Amino acid sequence: MSNLIDQDITHIRRVMPLSLSGDLGGPILPPSYWRQRLHRLLDTGLINKGQLCEIDSLLLIIDLHELNIASAAAAGSKKAAMRRSRHA
């Protein structure tokens, strides 16, 4: 079972960043999908310390991705508000 978990973690590490960056339409698979997959691995109760560290680092990548998206959206809203106030 440990080998299957390692393979799943390796797959997620390889595919998740590409999926999150997506294309002009946004992520191919949303952060919630990846978070759910990682939590399913944690819920098995069969992970070792190294796997736990890997899963934790992948969860941090998701958190940072969401933070970057939120920051970009906030910056865009602020710029739009400034443009509106100049034209008012």
**What pLDDT does 87 receive?**
67
Render each residue's pLDDT in the chain as its tens digit; 88 residues.
899 999 999 999 999 999 999 888 888 999 999 999 999 999 999 999 999 999 999 999 999 999 998 898 887 776 666 677 776 6
Range of the domain at 19: 2-87
Give the contacts of 48 (CB within 8 A, at least 6 positions apart): 2
User: Which tokens in the block code for residue 77?
Assistant: 């809203």
Q: Which residue has the tokens 């997620």?
A: 12
- Give the number of domains in the chain: 1
Phi/psi of residue 47, each to 5°? -90, 150
**What pLDDT does 52 receive?**
98
The CA–CA distances, whole Å, from 59 to 5, 29, 66, 72 equal 16, 15, 11, 20
